[in-house]
Amino acid sequence: MENILYEQQGFIGIITINRPKAMNALNSQTLQELDQTLDAIDVNSVRCVIVTGAGDKSFVAGADIAQMSTATRKEGEEYSAMGNAVFRKLEQLPVPTIAAINGFALGGGCEIAMSCDIRMCSDNAIFAQPEVGLGITPGFGGTQRLPRLINIGKAKEMIYTTNVIKAEEALKLGLVTYVYKPEELMPAAMKLAEKIAKMAPIAVRASKKAINEGLQVDIDKAVAIEVKAFATCIETEDQRGSMKAFVEKTKFEGFKNK
């Protein structure tokens, strides 16, 4: 692939948006390659995925403005639908995802970050939804995920005004959970991914599914989802083995994803 790099280190998959000369902007080709990359991830051998951008200036600087500038309404709708479909695929990936935000996260960059489970950034990161300043709305989920993640009034302010949010404010708002120096970001993301990878994969995936589905329904339906998730973990080799070791106070050799 030309615009997406993918590598696997142990149980960790790393997706890198690789258009540094274009600040890693998301054109149709990049979205298509990202879609193909997500389809190709072996979720039986990968236990956590990190998403980041090439270079040290930009995570993803948004959608490709040059591509959109002459689009017809039909082409615009198709482009937005494509981006939303790919980001939903990322959001629904069975394994946990971490956005390592190394610089600008504007428009589509903020939106792809919000599609990940956990967001951490470098202290030079900048977040914004600048679309209304270009005559459009956010098109890859910004109007829907941002108000779900931070204070709704602040989300509306960011979208209505295109105001820029720096790393420390993003941390205070809950848009990210950690801020690091640029050189510390990827090591910190790897450390967190490796910690997740050491946990029981079946239980982690069931937890992700229960959280995501439960947030979309009322509490009674949500706890029913949790009951089902809990039950899917019972009688697995990992559950039996780890609990046996706990009860017998013996060493557990590690989770096998079985």
The residues that are catalytic are 111, 131
Residue 150 DSSP code: S
Residues in the chain: 258
Q: Are 252 and 246 contacting, i.e. CB atoms less than 8 angstroms apart?
A: yes
Task: Compute the distance between CA of residue 15 and CA of residue 26 in angstroms, rounded to an integer.
Answer: 14
Residue 140 DSSP code: S
Dihedral pair phi/psi, residue 24, rounded to 5°:
60, 30
Alpha-helix residue ranges (DSSP H) falling in 5-141: 28-40, 65-68, 73-91, 108-114
Helix and strand totals (H; E) in the chain: 11, 10
Dihedral pair phi/psi, residue 152, rounded to 5°:
-60, -35
> Which one, of 106, 104, 107, 86, lies nearest residue 15 by Cα?
86
